[in-house]
Amino acid sequence: MMAIAALWIGVLLLAGGFALDRTLVRLVEDNFDEQLEYVQTALITSAEIDSFGDVQLYRSLGDQRFLEPNSGVYWQITGEGHQPFPSRSLWDRSLEVEGGYVDDEPHFYDSDQFEGEPLRMVERTVILPDSDTRWTFAVASARDELDFQISRIRSILFWSFAVLGIGLLAMAMLQSWYGLSPLRRVRNAIQAMRNEGANRITEPLPLEVEPLVDEINALLAHTEQQAEEARMHAGNLAHALKTPLTVLTNAATARDPKLSDLVCRETKTMQRHVEHHLARARAVGRRASGHSRAEVWPSAESVLRAVTRIYENTRFDLDGNRQAVVSIERQDLDEILGNLIENAAKYGGGSVFVTIDADREAQDCIIWIEDDGTGIPQNERTRIFDRGARLDTGKPGTGLGLAIVRDVAEIYGGSVELDTSEDLGGLLVKLTLPRSAQ
């Protein structure tokens, strides 16, 4: 920021200084030229033709410097076929005029014809009364005074703009340093939080950085929550695997003759636990990856096509909002709907109704899955979500379907409730998922 400010200030000062320099120098030169032209006009009005056809002045100019030799101001009148008529200040020198002008306008230019004395000259060609000769009136003045004034102006401009530039740069640096001081305080607060083991930034900070601090605290809370969830999942998985491993270790130590059957049974149990925790871990990872979005209708159609092949004698009905979109990954939505619809077909009596987003005005998207089975008793509707819980052990299953559904739904901010279907008389599953704002 300071480098950009310095560069921009430098560019603006250079441009402004150059423009002001050209303006002031032009004003000084114009003023100098106006004085030369004034003298030239007075010289022309004082000139006349004598009886011999030569030019002369019927009155002398008021500036005494024209009478002093080498005074630095000179005039000269020249005409073709006539001797030059110079001022006394030229003494034994003469002005070399450019001539050739026929527009009767004054012409200004610089001349170095006198060694060590640069001149500023003005010429004008005039035809005087009683004469056919074009007379060239030239007035010259040494540039010493003009160059001194220009040098003084440029010196004042240089030092003024230098002081201004240093002041502006100092103010820009001070503003940048002071303006970024809240960020340094945030950095110090984060460093202190790391060194002291705190989990939040609690130091009072300026209003300008409060949104940043809030986001940092939210990020820390999110990271802490993820770490806690990871520790909890690791602990739950370790606890779930501990009992089967103990059983296998004891059986192997005792050389149990049914060790092979025991290994198969316990490894299936461990596999169920691993799958359950992997499903939760995948859901947490997808949720943390960004804003999730999935269309409900295509997911439900895809699940119904797969389940229909397994339960060919079951009638499936799908109705509701075809444009419903929820904030959840498509893979997790497929897994939730797959578990719920497959359970409805497995434990139902042959009919499954799926209604998507029945209340489109609700804040969340609600999906109803109904079947015509025996349902679940009121006192078992909480326990059925536990890992491995099963009411009908006569049918194949792991007892993890509803547990996975509940865990994945809650990870995305949703919920699962069980009730009795009024239309079919069986189980009614109410799946609530956050509606996507996209």
Domain assignment present for residue 131? The answer is yes
Q: Which residues are CB-contacts of 352 (< 8 A; sequence separation ≥ 6)?
A: 314, 315, 316, 317, 341, 344, 345, 369, 370, 371
Do 6 and 130 sit in the same domain of this protein?
Answer: yes
Do 296 and 251 sit in the same domain of this protein?
Answer: no
Model pLDDT, residue 291: 61
Look at residues 287, 316, 337 and tell me which one is the last residue of a structural domain: 287
Domain assignment present for residue 95? The answer is yes
Do 297 and 268 sit in the same domain of this protein?
Answer: no
Domain assignment present for residue 279? The answer is yes
Q: Which residues are CB-contacts of 398 (< 8 A; sequence separation ≥ 6)?
A: 272, 275, 388
Model pLDDT, residue 64: 86
Can you give the residue range of the structural domain that contains 266? 207-287
Model pLDDT, residue 331: 83
DSSP structural state of residue 389: -
Do 319 and 265 sit in the same domain of this protein?
Answer: no
Model pLDDT, residue 398: 41
Domain assignment present for residue 173? The answer is no
Do 388 and 422 sit in the same domain of this protein?
Answer: yes
For the record, the structure tokens of 305 come out as 């096509």
In whole angstroms, what is the distance from residue 335 CA to residue 319 CA? 20
Residue 153 has pLDDT above 70, yes or no: yes
Q: CATH no. for residue 409?
A: 3.30.565.10
Domain assignment present for residue 187? The answer is no
Domain assignment present for residue 331? The answer is yes
Helix (H, G, I), strand (E, B) or coil at 100: coil
Domain assignment present for residue 255? The answer is yes
Q: Tens of pLDDT along 276-333?
A: 666 666 656 555 544 678 899 999 999 999 889 888 888 999 999 998 999 888 888 8
Do 303 and 273 sit in the same domain of this protein?
Answer: no
Domain assignment present for residue 232? The answer is yes
Q: How confident is the model at residue 390 (pLDDT cuts 50, 70, 90)?
A: very low
